Structure 1
Amino acid sequence: MYKKLLILLGRLLAFILALIFCLPVLLLPQATAVPAWVWVPLAAVDLGLLFAFFAIQPAGKATLVALIGVFVVGAASVIASQSFAMTPPILGTDGKPLSGSIATLETVTLNGSQQWISIRGKDTSKPVLLFLAGGPGGSQLAAARFALGGLEDYFVVVNWEQPGSGKSFDAVDRATLTPERYIEDAHALVAILKERFRQEKVYVLGESWGSALGIWLVQRYPEDFHAFIGTGQMVAFLENDLMCYEFALDWARQRGDSAKVEALTKQGPPPYYGSGMAWKEAAFLGDTFAYMNQNPAIRDNGFNTWRDLAAPEYGLYDKVSWFRGVLQTLDVVYPQLWEVDFRQQATKLEVPIYFLIGRHDINAPTVFVEDYYAVLDAPHKQIVWFEHSGHTPWVSESDRFVETMVNTVLP
């Protein structure tokens, strides 16, 4: 009895592993960038093993062999998907890679650790634009390529997988991550880009958490930057999240959602610390996005997560790390941000500053950007409002976002 149960459980485990590790290679070969000569044999062996599980009589040895086979094929699938990860080439009108363009997915050494970047542009002589994703722990390699591909006509766009996120999830010991580490790694990356593309300065575009990192960068190293562009701009983390918490609580009361009211009241308002704080943040920040999602004034408030995960930039292990970064890295880094308030700590910046802000942003309430703008001293400062956007105008109004970058930010 127990032996049969164990055999059935073994087959179920193998089936689940096959679905996770192997079948995506069969179902999304173009998206995973694994060539046919690799994924066809892997998928064939995988499907054969699955058939064997259900065709053979319960026999411990046969089941064990099949189970080991699935593990081996699964491991080969992960290795293959990681090895063949890439960013798609930029094509000309003839369908061939555009002459003079660049489209690479590569590692760079930043302060002793190997971290990933993508570099995309139609002309390598164009200005360099460094994109800083949200998070901490967020990966937006594919999301930025889909939404902001138009920038590749005017910039060499560099998307940095920050340590603890996506492809750079294991770049450093996550327990040691600090804002200082991000600042200095970004600075090291900028130095590499300046030398590689023979430019004295670069542009930096930061979204959400990346907007805070961008402020620190230009504050400390203004000589490296033409300008800073912030969107979904973070200004004062604790006040920001307290407002979001109260918003979610009030909205739950208005909806008569007593379970939500009870849950939020029980966990209490931020600040939070320690393991699991990411889930506490999600408990109310998720509601700010849900509220924006139903706002008819916002054209498109979210991302296509499954499309992004299917993108060829991510191998199968990267896809898992995409989720792990959002949870595990945020647990480590976010508690270090509660004392950040740029209205006191970064009132004078020596580069032009542009805030590209969604008028209906609830996640990063616009009142804080307006307060910061009022006290900010910079060579040039400007707020550009996106009337049909929430937290992510670069997604909601991507065409206008690109146009603003080109016609307002570029000289």
Structure 2
Amino acid sequence: MTSRTREPKGRAHAWVTAAAVVVAVVVFLPVLLLPLTTSVPIWAWLPLLVLGVAGLVWLVVGRRRRWVRPAAVAVVALTAIGAVVASQTLSVTPPITGPDGERVPGSIASMESVDLGGSEQWITIRGHDESNPVLLNLGVGGPGGGGFFNSSEFRPLEEHFTVVNWDEPGTGKSYGAVPFDELDRERFVDDATALTNHLRERFGQDKIYVYGVSWSSIIGIWLVQEHPELFHAFISSGQMVNTTENDRMGYELALAHLDQQGETGRAEKLSENGPPPYRGDAVVWPYVDFLDVLNEIMGVPRYTLVVPLLGFLVPEYGYVDTINHTRGLINSFNAVYPQLEDLDFVEQAAALEVPVFFFVGRHDVNAMPSLVEEYVDVLEAPEKELIWLEGAHGLGSAENKDVFVDVMLEQVRPLSQ
């Protein structure tokens, strides 16, 4: 009886230990991924790694003692908490280095908070020489994308501009800066104006440049429309002109694509959603249903696959920032996008008092090129340029990056001289 009783108990003990090991390994993942997904230095990572590995070994070696399991898992959990804290407190923007790997003398690479409208919001400032003209990057699409994610697009320009990347309120490091029900045109323009004036004073410049893409290209048009005296020029890619018409065109294209591919299930889902604009408290989901299809047409991953991973590509983000980036995209979209239903720059911004440069992908199906062409045709501005980018990947391809840099250096930068 004794041996038969011990055998089931031994198996149960082994299963409990195995389960504890699995839990501990999962909990330990933030520590393992720390050097790959954050800017935490090795001197801060190694102690957490050693302590966590010791906890895992202790869990396996000391498995016959009941108190070991919870104690070992607790040790591993503490290292994970330490990893989260380190990722937030030790995050930095990478230094600007030359071919020799050494920091460029006189360069600036700073991540800092600024007070905009009574709220703490975050920017990075990067450049080889602080006397260069300032280029303010309003961020990527969304609403809620923020400017830290696409800051790498401007690395080739940091020798010639002081590039400032802004995490707008409601996303990333600025996630909790402003309540979502206060996010509207006035708030975004006021905060962007306050940031512009802060940069003008800090760097002693009368005017700066401003850049937007997709959603933030809307902020950019609003900004230069209301305060043209503050800017040398406005530059955008993926320019949004009429969001409702743009979305309806995208919806019809997505539906036709699914029908052509024989994906009846997804086509039925789009048909059930109906054409945009969508209204309610969770508009992001029906929009994502057809935006995912448009990404497939362009040969890029679905939003639902990549959005949770985007923050891990931003060295300035800690783990909490990465989670908040995803939350920000969802919450900001739900709060702000319905406010854009009547947007139409052909009617509402037919004249601008600054030079404008639109980079347009020939096969972009998120920001429809035909609508941008229509806008450029009617737009009155001191100078206007429509620069075509090949393919559907915008500034994501090497060829288009070269075009972007050439235009920025040869046509845009001289406007500040």
* TM-score computed with the length of structure 2 as normaliser: 0.88
Given that 1:212 and 1:234 are in contact with CA atoms closer than 8 Å, whether structure 2 keeps it comes out as yes
- CA offset digits 1:162-197 (Å, max 9, x no partner): 111222122222343223211111111001000000
Partner of 1:299: none
Partner of 1:182: 188
Are residues 1:18 and 2:25 paired?
no
Label 1:174 to 1:270 Cα distance change in 2 as closer, same or farther (>3 A).
same
- CA offset digits 1:218-250 (Å, max 9, x no partner): 011111111111210001111111111111000
Aligned partner (choices 312, 316, 322) of residue 313 of structure 1: 316
Amino acid at match of 1:24: L
Partner of 1:268: 274
Partner of 1:392: 394
Are residues 1:410 and 2:416 paired?
no
Given that 1:362 and 1:391 are in contact with CA atoms closer than 8 Å, whether structure 2 keeps it comes out as no
**What runs of 5+ residues in structure 2 fail to find an aligned partner?**
1-8, 301-305
How many correspondences in the alignment? 397
CA distance in 2, matches of 1:318, 1:399: 31
Partner of 1:136: 143
Aligned partner (choices 44, 47, 55) of residue 41 of structure 1: 47
Label 1:162 to 1:395 Cα distance change in 2 as closer, same or farther (>3 A).
farther
CA distance in 2, matches of 1:377, 1:190: 24
Moved more, 53-62 or 275-284: 53-62
Aligned partner (choices 75, 87, 91) of residue 85 of structure 1: 91
Amino acid at match of 2:294: T
Are residues 1:158 and 2:161 paired?
no
What is the aligned-residue identity percentage?
A: 42
* Aligned 1:191-230 pairs, distance under 5 A: 191-230=197-236
Moved more, 99-108 or 202-211: 99-108
CA distance in 2, matches of 1:337, 1:50: 52
Are residues 1:325 and 2:328 paired?
yes
**1:390, CA displacement in angstroms?**
2.3
CA distance in 1, matches of 2:252, 2:97: 48
Given that 1:32 and 1:81 are in contact with CA atoms closer than 8 Å, whether structure 2 keeps it comes out as yes
Given that 1:357 and 1:393 are in contact with CA atoms closer than 8 Å, whether structure 2 keeps it comes out as no
Partner of 1:125: 131
**1:59, CA displacement in angstroms?**
6.4
Given that 1:364 and 1:391 are in contact with CA atoms closer than 8 Å, whether structure 2 keeps it comes out as no
Cα RMSD, aligned residues only: 2.6
**1:93, CA displacement in angstroms?**
4.4
**What runs of 5+ residues in structure 1 fail to find an aligned partner?**
295-302
Moved more, 205-214 or 175-184: 175-184
* TM-score computed with the length of structure 1 as normaliser: 0.89
Q: Partner of 1:340: helix, strand, or coil?
A: coil
Q: Partner of 1:118: helix, strand, or coil?
A: strand
Partner of 1:297: none
- CA offset digits 1:130-154 (Å, max 9, x no partner): 0111221113425332x33111121
Aligned partner (choices 224, 247, 253) of residue 253 of structure 2: 247
Which is higher, the Rg of structure 1 or of structure 2?
2
CA distance in 2, matches of 1:285, 1:105: 32
Q: Partner of 1:141: helix, strand, or coil?
A: coil
- CA offset digits 1:283-314 (Å, max 9, x no partner): 111211211128xxxxxxxx999687244212
Label 1:150 to 1:178 Cα distance change in 2 as closer, same or farther (>3 A).
same
**1:104, CA displacement in angstroms?**
0.9
- CA offset digits 1:101-120 (Å, max 9, x no partner): 11111111111111111111
Higher relative contact order (CA 8 A, sep 6+): 1
- CA offset digits 1:342-397 (Å, max 9, x no partner): 111111211111111111111111111111112212122221112x1326236551
Moved more, 266-275 or 347-356: 266-275
Partner of 2:6: none
